[in-house]
Structure 1
Amino acid sequence: MRHDLAPAGPAAARLKTEFARIRYELGDLPGRIVDPQRLRAMPARLGRTLHTGMLADCFFDPETALCLDHGKDDLDHTAPALSQCRPDRCPNACITRSHLPLWQASIADAERLLADRRLSRLQRIALERDIERMRRLIPPLLEGPDA
């Protein structure tokens, strides 16, 4: 985790806690030598596999993944169902500043749709809720040394 790209989203607290634990164990001294196997194993508790995505990165854990239908045994639970991703809600999702432009573009698209007077009341409510949900993701992404 780069210092200038602090994570946001549901997995952010878990990531920050895990990296703080690793930092506590290793310390801040530059040049400290750590066994490469130990270094690779330390963040292993975060999830089984990292899947990078356009709106978020996923520290995939099938037990908590919202993208999987846990009621169906015939589905593949070894990878996320990316078309069902809910990055602002899933505990496996990590959103960083690199994802910010697409979230901002999504908000702008939704706002353009709201300008259409032909929208039904329910469509308008759904868009307004989505915009508000997406806007809540942005402030943590703007924090940091080069914000």
Structure 2
Amino acid sequence: MKSKETKHDTSRPRQLWWVIEPAAKAIAVAERVSWHETHVFASLNSTVSRNGQGGRAGFYAGLDIDFFIRTVNATRHETGLEEIPDAHVRPHMFRKTMSIIASQEPDAEIALGIQLKHATTRALANRTTQQYGRIDSKWAKEFDTQLQTAAAQKLVALLKGRRSGETIAVGPGAARFHDGLDKVNAAIDQSPTLRAQLADDRLEITLLRDEFANLHLGTINHCLWHAPTAQCQNQLPKEQRGKAPLLGACQPSRCRNSVLTLAHERIWRLEEADLVRLLKMRLSKPLREQTLARLAEVRGTTAQFETLKDTV
């Protein structure tokens, strides 16, 4: 394929690109449907402005990411999602992290090779993709540390509530969760030095990070990852079990690793309302029975949130 990659610089020379046949066919279609005279890939609206500088041609991923963040934050009352902090976010920041995480999934090598455009002889592409998706020790340490710190930061408020004697969690793993928070509070109370520094959130974050090193934060629940009691592992072959939680197969109302706080209530209430609306429609008998069973399970969970409100 002969083309020019401008990327905001129209003086770049025209180059030759080796592509696989499906990509060539897709580009041929894009040439026919593109409204632009010189660009194969152009925005649908030629008057879209970037940084207030008039129209643009082509895609600008930064604008799309900014739009996504604004939309998520503006619809939080409907989706139950947490607010995305205001920050400069661009695609290249995700490339390595996405590759390493995706490489752990079945058949990810093929998907990653396509996503990363490693479209060459399959054997060579495999080697390139594997190398790019390999976990780097420095990256892993930094990534794990950041995850633990982020989790600990969100636990600070719960730790303070627990210090006041509140029941701050429900679910199968609530007792273990409370025990962990109580251990941190006990460590602070037993040390005059730590008590003197109690106003410093960084101290609490450090203690919480050490106590909850295996905590995985989630939208519908938190996971106190413990492989022997993790129900999600039942979905995996025996040789793959025990390595990491399979969040897509989580059973938050039944797994002994599952913890729910008031922060999770909104998403459960939204599902309950969706199920009630679904049952008002004409459904097949199997689907109605399945929906009724799920509604009972969800209501069993939402009822537990009422006990949290009584203690707050």
* TM-score of the aligned structures, taking structure 1 as reference length: 0.75
Decide whether aligned partners of structure 1 residues 70 and 62 sit closer, same or farther in structure 2, where only a CA change above 3 A counts. Answer: farther
Give the Cα separation in 2 of the matches to 1:117 and 1:70: 32
Residue 168 of structure 2 corresponds to residue 6 of structure 1: yes
Which of 40, 44, 51 aligns to 2:216? It is 51
Moved runs in structure 1, 4+ residues, more than 4 A? Answer: none
Q: Please, what is the CA RMSD of the aligned residues?
A: 3.0
Bigger proportion of residues as helix: 2
Tell whether the 8 Å contact from 1:114 to 1:124 is kept in structure 2 after alignment.
Answer: yes
Tell me which residue corresponds to 1:100: 265
Distance across 1 between alignment mates of 2:295 and 2:209: 43
What pairs with 1:1-147 in structure 2 (closer than 5 Å)? 1=155, 2=158, 3=161, 6-27=168-189, 30-32=195-197, 39=207, 43-44=211-212, 49-69=214-234, 72-120=237-285, 122-123=289-290, 125-145=292-312
For CA contacts below 8 A with separation 6 or more, give which structure has more relative contact order.
1
Structure label with greater radius of gyration: 2
Q: How many residues align?
A: 139
Deviation, 1:136, is: 3.0
**For 2:236 and 2:280, how far apart are their aligned partners in 1?**
39
Percent identity, aligned pairs only, is 24
TM-aligned CA distance change 1:128 to 1:57, over 3 Å: closer
Residue 114 of structure 1 aligns to which amino acid in structure 2? Answer: L
Separation (CA, whole Å) in 1 of partners of 2:299 and 2:181? 30
Unaligned runs of 5+ in 1: none
CA drift of 1:80 comes to 0.8
Distance 1:126 1:54, change over 3 A: same
User: What CA distance in whole angstroms lies between the structure 1 residues aligned with 2:239 and 2:282?
Assistant: 44
Deviation per CA, 1:48-68, whole angstroms, max 9, x where unpaired?
Answer: 522111100111111110111
SS in 2 for 1:89: coil
Q: List gaps (5 residues or longer) in structure 2.
A: 1-154
1:114 and 1:127 in contact (8 A); partners too: no
